[in-house]
Structure 1
Amino acid sequence: MTSRDETVQLHETYLSKHKLPLFKQFGWDVVEGKREGVFFWDLDGKRYFDCHVCGGVYNLGHRNPKVVKAVRDALDHVDLGNHHLMSSERSRLAKKLVESAGETSSGERMGRVVFASGGGEAMDFAFKMAKGYTGKSTILCLEGGYHGHTGLSMGAGDEKYTDAWNYKPEGFVKVSLEDLDRIETFFDEDTAAVSLETIPATLGMNVIPRKTMQHIRKVTREHGVLLILDEIQTGCGRSGRTWAFQHYDIMPDIFATGKGFSGGIYPIAATVYRDEMEQVYEQNPMIHFSTFGGSEIGCAAAETVLDHATDPDFLAHVNALSDFFRNAVEELAERSNKVAGLRQIGMFQAIEFVDVATCISAVARLNENGVFCVFSNNDRVCAQFMPPLIMTMEEAEELMALVEKSISEADAVDLTSSEFFSTQTEARIRNVNRRL
């Protein structure tokens, strides 16, 4: 096995030398070794609670035995498959995915699926479908949001993701979180869709109130504007429901899944949309393909994920963990002058600190003490806190003890000395009092 020092040297030479100073500042200069369940270890044997889970990829923990078995069994029979041909595996998974979205109290349901290899690709297709189906060009999306690093998905995110590449896809209009209650005032004759993460992750896991989300669904329907929801991080049981939009009793016109949909073993993502949109393919059924989208090996992993994400007992455990962490962080906030509270729906969580400098320090101490987490890149007053959903209560208690220890050791840092932080030392959103 390559040593840690050799790996660091290879990374600096062949991958990214500019990330290393940042990694070292926060204790992220870790080379992963063994990984299992809620933990991973570095090459020196140091154990970490994984509270980043790669944005939700490891919802079921690292190397979940059921997902590993499903993929191993699939390898005995199939390979990636051919995207030009029909597939039993893709067809079966598509049915299960559509059915997992359920039905609203007014009878709305989803209809069809297009598979992708990653979340950015799934969102890129969502925007293509919205524009193609409506014949309109403008997508309203959230200021400070994030939907991926490629193509149209990059255009829908924060401007930092496009400015660095001198690339600005047309047709995306940014709306602030505070303006969502009046989203209809941004509509015009060329508005194709409104696109949101059901809970904006990179913007700090800000909870959109139920009343606001239902208002958005109401006015989009009234004006013939589509609603696209990005469930790439919030889906697959992370919120305590199969899909986070189910908390709002709404059905989007299009939603995307990825990350946790893979089970952490084999990449797969999907875009799910209403049946009537299929008419886009009528004149040319061959206008969209994804070579690796819906690979038959990935389908085996994703079926196992959906079995968990739709299981009432599994979801009950997620909500029990959610209750534990909410109570624990609220009690900590009462005792500490550093913690403001917890942003949370289910186990989609972020610890909000009193200011950015304290958050940055706390993240560094957490990593030093064996709790791997990151701050939210577009709202650095909060640390994303997303342990795997298969965590036991005993593990949760051990984790919370480390969190308390780390926060007690955190001292506010001077951000002006870091070029990375000098342009963003204030939080964009104060969210701790928001509730579903």
Structure 2
Amino acid sequence: MSTEQVISKYEKYINPAMAKLFRFMGLNSVENRAQGCYVYDEQDKEYIDCLGGYGVFALGHCHPQVVKAVQEQVGRIPLSSKVLFNRQLADLAEKLAEITPGDLQYSFIVNSGTEAVEAMLKVAKLATGKGKFLCMTNSFHGKSLGSLSATGRELFREPFKPLLNGFEHIPFGDIKALEQKLDSSYAGVILEPIQGEGGIILPPAGYLQKIRELCDQHGVLMLVDEVQTGMGRTGKYFAVEHEAVVPDIIALAKALGGGVMPIGAIVAREKVWQGLIESPFLHTTTFGGNQLACTAALATIEVIEKEGLLALARDNGAYFLAGLRAIQDKYPAVITQVRGLGMMLGLELSKEGVGGLLLSLLIDDGILIAYTLNNPKVIRLEPALNMPRELIDIVLAKIACAVATANEAIEDL
């Protein structure tokens, strides 16, 4: 089957507008295989993956240890009977209690990030008996109705209103706005420690600690969405650890499955879990916690620890950030700011039109990249935590070349 036939099926059976957008961005290739930091299309063109599946491929593609573990498990019991005890689920829950901060203990395993957020919201309502949540503008928590109610981008919310009641939004990073709004009537404050889809937005220093203090002061739960920042992306297992903060519930997904299996989870403190202990079937899932996904997650954690990927993410991220800032210094008319933490990096551009040009140039030059969902002026980089330095240098050189071209065309964009 030719590439054009595949694209034609997208147009006829999936979404013609999506196919048109992919063509416009130069993504008119069909992916065929992937390994490490590389993706290959059906014509065997090589792409360096700097997008990393929006944070999924923290270990790179097809890490052999994760693939081997999943291959061995699939022939034994890939999905749970849901009746007998599940060893892999028990082992993963124990491991999550070990790697998450503080006294987080109980886990509920799901299949995706938006499911994790849904579970987090339900557990918070059950624990507090309250239905109000304080959320952040420019946030992204998913697109199911509950997670969308918490999401702070009207573009995604407006077509589906009315959404759930009780969700209010305040500016991210503005502690005064939180102080003025928060009281004991809320079930929880929900936020990302770094806004990913919002444009790789880091909060001011001490912001997370202050939220923790205010939540404790008012008896409100702190709910942290680490779906994109978790599992080492920022140089620690979880971004809240940079401020030594322990949330009441943490949500994770994306990188948890090692780029091999979809899996999400929430992990919560014991006091928050009492409602589910009293009524354990109030929130359940058919596929969540299956042996195959849990095996992938356990292998992923083992790889992160064995290969020292947290330290690598910190070191590689600092090196990458310095290289990008050197490009910004040379071409300030194109790049207005470079920011990030670990291997979660963003380039803020002077104009939205620059982003389209850069994406097209870089994709044509074999770099997979994209802009953030809430802010088209920000190009994100979320490559594998273990990307070799020599490959980072190649990527920086290609970005510099594309930015130089954009700089020449800036007035016409």
For Structure 1 versus Structure 2, the TM-score category normalised by the shorter chain is over 0.9
Number of corresponding residues: 409
What's 1:419 paired with? Answer: none
SS at match of 1:365: helix
Change (3 A) 1:342 1:294: same
2:345 to 346, 349, 356: 349
Judge conservation of contact 2:173–2:204 (CA < 8 Å) in 1. Answer: no
User: Is 1:382 matched up with 2:378?
Assistant: yes
Is 322-331 or 177-186 further displaced after alignment?
177-186
Change (3 A) 1:235 1:282: closer
Judge conservation of contact 2:193–2:225 (CA < 8 Å) in 1. Answer: yes
Question: How does the TM-score come out when normalised to structure 1?
Answer: 0.90
What's 1:160 paired with? Answer: 155
Partners of 1:235 and 1:311 in 2: how far apart? Answer: 18
User: Is 1:294 matched up with 2:286?
Assistant: no
SS at match of 1:18: helix
What's 2:108 paired with? Answer: 114
Judge conservation of contact 1:236–1:305 (CA < 8 Å) in 2. Answer: no
What's 1:264 paired with? Answer: 259
User: Once superposed, what is the RMSD of the aligned Cα atoms?
Assistant: 1.7
Report the AA paired with residue 159 of structure 2: A
Change (3 A) 1:80 1:65: same
SS at match of 2:108: strand
**Equivalence map 1:421-436=2 (5 Å):** none
Judge conservation of contact 1:83–1:289 (CA < 8 Å) in 2. Answer: no
Judge conservation of contact 1:360–1:413 (CA < 8 Å) in 2. Answer: no
Judge conservation of contact 1:267–1:298 (CA < 8 Å) in 2. Answer: yes
What's 1:252 paired with? Answer: 247
> How many angstroms does 1:368 deviate by?
1.9
Judge conservation of contact 1:318–1:346 (CA < 8 Å) in 2. Answer: yes
Judge conservation of contact 2:97–2:106 (CA < 8 Å) in 1. Answer: yes
2:300 to 297, 305, 310: 305
Report the AA paired with residue 178 of structure 2: I
> How many angstroms does 1:384 deviate by?
0.7
> How many angstroms does 1:414 deviate by?
6.8
> How many angstroms does 1:101 deviate by?
1.4
What's 2:140 paired with? Answer: 146
Judge conservation of contact 1:358–1:413 (CA < 8 Å) in 2. Answer: no
What's 1:433 paired with? Answer: none
What's 1:124 paired with? Answer: 118
User: Is 1:52 matched up with 2:63?
Assistant: no
Partners of 1:413 and 1:178 in 2: how far apart? Answer: 33
1:400 to 396, 401, 409: 396
> Percent identity between the aligned chains?
29
Judge conservation of contact 2:139–2:197 (CA < 8 Å) in 1. Answer: yes
Judge conservation of contact 1:237–1:310 (CA < 8 Å) in 2. Answer: no
> How many angstroms does 1:56 deviate by?
0.9
User: Is 1:365 matched up with 2:375?
Assistant: no
Judge conservation of contact 2:112–2:263 (CA < 8 Å) in 1. Answer: yes
What's 2:314 paired with? Answer: 319
User: Is 1:66 matched up with 2:87?
Assistant: no
Is 357-366 or 389-398 further displaced after alignment?
357-366
> How many angstroms does 1:357 deviate by?
2.7
Partners of 1:381 and 1:39 in 2: how far apart? Answer: 25
Partners of 1:181 and 1:43 in 2: how far apart? Answer: 53
Report the AA paired with residue 267 of structure 2: V
**Equivalence map 1:184-203=2 (5 Å):** 184-203=179-198
Partners of 1:67 and 1:25 in 2: how far apart? Answer: 35
**Equivalence map 1:95-106=2 (5 Å):** 95-103=94-102
> How many angstroms does 1:166 deviate by?
4.0
Gaps of 5+ in 1: 104-108, 416-436
What's 1:278 paired with? Answer: 273
Partners of 2:179 and 2:83 in 1: how far apart? Answer: 41
> How many angstroms does 1:308 deviate by?
3.0
> How many angstroms does 1:219 deviate by?
0.6
**Equivalence map 1:75-86=2 (5 Å):** 75-86=74-85
Gaps of 5+ in 2: none
SS at match of 2:187: strand
Is 244-253 or 312-321 further displaced after alignment?
312-321
SS at match of 1:398: helix
User: Is 1:177 matched up with 2:176?
Assistant: no
> How many angstroms does 1:160 deviate by?
2.1
